[in-house]
Amino acid sequence: MNTQVRITDVAPRDGLQAETTIVATDRKANLVRALHATHVDEIEVSSFVSPKWIPQLGDAKELFAMIAAEKPQGIIYSALVPNQRGLQGALAVNAHARQEHGVERLIDKVSVFTAASEGFSLKNTNATIEETLIRFAPVIDQAHHHGLMVRGYISCIVRCPFDADISPVQVANVASRLLDLGIDELDLGDTIGAATPETLEPVIMEVVDRLEGNATNPFGDPTLTVHLHDTFGHASECVKMALELGVRSFDSAAGGLGGCPYASTETSRAPGNLSTLQLLHTITEMGYSTKVDLDAMAAASKIASELLP
Ligand code: HMG
Ligand code: MG
């Protein structure tokens, strides 16, 4: 049995995108540097989205330029792109890093994002699910043309703050569409931390069915990733269940930072991502392993926590 689990730390992106404080670029760079030392598999560094929508990440280009010469071997850098404009931003960063630092490919992966619910899709991207998928088709093709991997996120896989409960079939239908468009990795997001093992299991089962046995993508990594938020304290139980179902890739955030701005309602703010240290603890407790250095992750988590007031 494969006991190796892949970890993507999303703190610099998902951790900071919803904060009222806009963190200075050099402090974000320090967090990314601290994550280098952890040997995490992937760092989701930032997003190439509209700065009118997410001003917190409006410095993506500057941040990548700041760390371009320091990227270690073996760590993947990824960034969110909602449309072709976003992909152009990522490609421009790569061209600059190649020219200035001789880095073959600074950003290795771009992530497109849609939702299982129409309400969330509209609030998050001003587009229906169908419209987001139409936008993604050329983005995915062009990303592949430039040798980039593509992750496809589905938000609100269990519950939506606007449309209530989501059926597993609905999630699997969106998953099928993304897989048909050619994504290399499917990321299931429990955006508001509503999942319990009982509600998450049928979603994973339904989606795994649509993967048709493709547990590994052409890059040799797991095709399915699970992205949990720990709102009601169920994330660790969900990780245990997902591991038992065969999931071998998870997202988490150093310091448990973050949440999604459009997952909040007027009365309740979307809470943090599952903390990476907590995830590592659960994985080890279950007898699985990762490449991550625990002491280095503790140090990175401290730096992450100190970024916000
Ligand atoms: P729109 O307003 O419908 O589109 O936004 P638009 O085409 O009219 O663009 C508005 C302005 O943004 C224009 O500028 C565009 O040029 C510009 P203006 O002409 O007014 O000066 N623009 C851009 N600028 C920079 N980069 C771009 C870009 N595109 C347009 N890529 C849009 C549509 C999709 C752009 C907008 O809704 C958007 O950026 N949304 C991003 C929202 C976001 O980042 N949400 C958080 C990520 S999802 C999440 O956190 C969930 C996840 O963690 C999983 C989980 O937890 O479940 C992934
Ligand atoms: Mg998230």
Q: What is the pLDDT of residue 309?
A: 79
Q: How many C-beta neighbours within 10 Å does residue 122 have? A: 18
260 is catalytic: yes
pLDDT over threshold 90, residue 87: yes
Residue 293 tokens, joined: 């250095």
**Alpha helical stretches, state H, the chain:** 25-36, 60-67, 84-101, 118-125, 129-145, 168-181, 197-211, 235-245, 276-285, 294-306
Protein residue closest via CA to atom 17 of ligand 1: 50
Q: Which ligand is nearest to the CA of 166?
A: 1
The residues lining ligand 1, judged by C-beta closer than 6 Å to any ligand atom, are 14, 17, 47-50, 52-54, 80, 82-83, 85-86, 89, 113, 124-126, 153, 155, 189, 191, 227, 260
How far the first Cα of the chain sits from its last, in Å, is 44
Alpha-carbon span 193 to 232, nearest angstrom: 7
Provide the pLDDT confidence category of residue 266 given band limits of 50, 70 and 90: low
Backbone phi, then psi, for 71, in 5-degree steps? Answer: -65, 125
Convert the pLDDT of each residue in 101-136 to its tens digit.
999 999 999 999 999 999 999 999 999 999 999 999
Q: Ligand 2 mean position to 168 CA, how many Å?
A: 19
Band (pLDDT 50/70/90 cuts) for residue 272 is: confident
How far, in Å, from the CA of 287 to the mean position of ligand 1?
40
Cβ within 8 Å of residue 195, ≥6 positions away: 157, 158, 159, 203, 228, 234, 235, 238
Q: Cα dist. 135→182, 203, 215 in Å? A: 13, 25, 26
DSSP states along 240-290 = HHHHHHT--EEEEBGGG----GGG--SS----PBPBHHHHHHHHHHTT-B-
The DSSP output letter for 70 is: G
Q: Which CATH architecture has domain 6-305?
A: Alpha-Beta Barrel (3.20)
Closest residue CA from atom 28 of ligand 1: 50
Percentage of the chain with pLDDT > 90?
90
Ligand located closest to 188 CA: 1
Q: Alpha-carbon distance 82 to 90, whole Å?
A: 11
* pLDDT score recorded for residue 269: 56
The single-letter code of the amino acid at 94 is N
Residue located nearest, by CA, to atom 12 of ligand 1: 50
Measured in Å, residue 265 CA sits from the centre of ligand 2 at: 15
Judged against a pLDDT cut of 90, whether residue 295 lies above it is answered with yes
Which 3 state secondary structure label does DSSP give 19? coil
Proportion of the chain above pLDDT 70, given as a percent: 96
pLDDT at 308 over 90: no
Task: Looking at the CA of residue 155, tell me the nearest atom of ligand 1.
Answer: 57
